[in-house]
């Protein structure tokens, strides 16, 4: 009986010790994750490094060469609320995710649409903006064409390499020829020069370009294709960063700040005189 009691007592002690140790181990693991978060890196550095690609009106250079645009407002407000400086790192679109993964910057804030393919490589925050694609066409080249007519080997589209419009064009118009460029501006120029029938981009770019060149360009359809949300992209395995960015985005949605800045850049053109023609 004494031996049996000792065995029971020992077993109970092991259970109690395990119960006490488990929360301590969980707390240590949580602290380790927190200390490895990019949020802690940003706080220690005193600056947040933001990767972006240049395309209007998300991000662009003004007449002095300074970066302005919706993304710049978002990044600067985020940095201000974190109590750090904002450092923007312009990066070619087709290399922006590899640059994030390699640690060149802390987060991508660049109008990036969430897709399952991208999500295999990076994590996404909640959407901070919503937009859809419209077709910007060369009016003379596409006169009398129905939407179905664009799906033809005789039709040429232009788009930014690696960007969402390029994927949408390839899916919607697989028979058409697709020319790829490093910047949205080059795609529009190709349409403007009559070397491509059309391109696609998020509003307000197509409508703004059609207003600038009313004799040559038009938005032939009211339809917005593939309306989706744009989100911050982060490296995987960082729940603290996801939590912080999601909370920040949701607060800015609720207080109307994101809508206000989005309306300024996407629904108006007061800023047009700030950038080169």
pLDDT at 143: 96
| Measured CA distances, 260 to 9, 70, 246, 255 (Å) | 66, 10, 19, 10
Does this model's pTM top 0.85? My answer is no
pLDDT at 277: 74
Does 133-226 carry CATH code 3.40.190.10?
yes
**Phi and psi at residue 111, in whole multiples of 5°?**
60, 30
Average pLDDT, the chain: 88
Query: Strands 123-138, 177-181: parallel, antiparallel or unpaired by DSSP?
Result: unpaired
CATH fold for domain 39-131+227-274: D-Maltodextrin-Binding Protein; domain 2 (3.40.190)
Report whether pLDDT(67) > 80: yes
Which of these ranges, 18-32, 61-75, 155-169, has the smallest mean pLDDT? Answer: 18-32
Q: How many Cβ atoms sit within 10 Å of the Cβ of residue 172?
A: 17
State percent of the chain over pLDDT 70: 87
pLDDT at 27: 46
- Spatial separation of the C-alpha atoms in residues 47 and 55, rounded to whole Å: 24
pLDDT at 226: 79
pLDDT at 26: 42
pLDDT at 141: 97
Q: Does the fold of domain 133-226 match that of domain 39-131+227-274?
A: yes
Long-range own/partner contacts, residues 265-270 (CB < 8 A, 24 or more apart): 265/57, 265/58, 265/69, 265/70, 265/73, 266/57, 266/70, 266/131, 266/203, 266/204, 267/204, 269/208, 269/211
Packing angle of the helix pair 239-254, 2-36 (nearest 10 deg): 60
pLDDT at 263: 85
pLDDT at 30: 45
pLDDT digits (tens, 9 = 90+) for 120-132: 999 999 999 987 7
pLDDT at 56: 82
272 confidence band (pLDDT: 50, 70, 90): confident
pLDDT digits (tens, 9 = 90+) for 4-63: 666 556 655 555 555 555 555 444 444 444 568 999 999 999 999 999 999 888 999 999
The predicted model gives 259-267 an average pLDDT of 88
pLDDT digits (tens, 9 = 90+) for 172-227: 999 999 999 988 789 999 999 999 999 998 777 888 889 889 999 999 987 878 77
Would you kindly state where each structural domain of the chain is located, as residue ranges? 39-131+227-274, 133-226
């Amino acid at each position: 009986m004494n031996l049996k009691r000792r065995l029971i007592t020992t077993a109970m002690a092991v259970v109690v010790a395990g119960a006490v140790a488990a929360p301590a181990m969980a707390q240590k693991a949580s602290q380790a994750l927190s200390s490895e978060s990019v949020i802690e890196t940003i706080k220690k550095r005193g600056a947040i490094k933001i990767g972006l690609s240049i395309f209007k009106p998300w991000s662009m250079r003004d007449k002095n060469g300074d970066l302005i645009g919706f993304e710049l407002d978002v990044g600067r407000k985020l940095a201000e609320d974190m109590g750090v400086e904002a450092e923007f790192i312009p990066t070619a679109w087709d290399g922006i995710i590899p640059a994030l993964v390699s640690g060149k910057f802390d987060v991508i804030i660049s109008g990036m649409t969430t897709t399952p393919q991208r999500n295999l490589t990076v994590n996404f925050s909640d959407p901070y903006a919503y937009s859809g694609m419209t077709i910007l066409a060369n009016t003379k080249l596409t006169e009398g064409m129905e939407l179905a007519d664009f799906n033809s080997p005789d039709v040429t589209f232009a788009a930014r390499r690696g960007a969402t419009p390029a994927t949408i064009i390839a899916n919607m118009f697989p028979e058409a020829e697709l020319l790829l460029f490093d910047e949205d501006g080059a795609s529009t120029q190709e349409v403007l020069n009559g070397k491509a029938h059309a391109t696609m981009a998020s509003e307000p770019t197509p409508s703004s370009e059609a207003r600038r060149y009313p004799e040559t360009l038009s938005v032939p359809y009211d339809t917005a294709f593939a309306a989706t949300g744009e989100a911050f992209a982060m490296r995987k395995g960082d729940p603290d960063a996801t939590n912080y960015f999601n909370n920040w985005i949701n607060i800015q949605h609720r207080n109307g700040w994101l809508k206000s800045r989005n309306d300024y850049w996407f629904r108006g053109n007061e800023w047009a005189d700030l950038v080169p023609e």
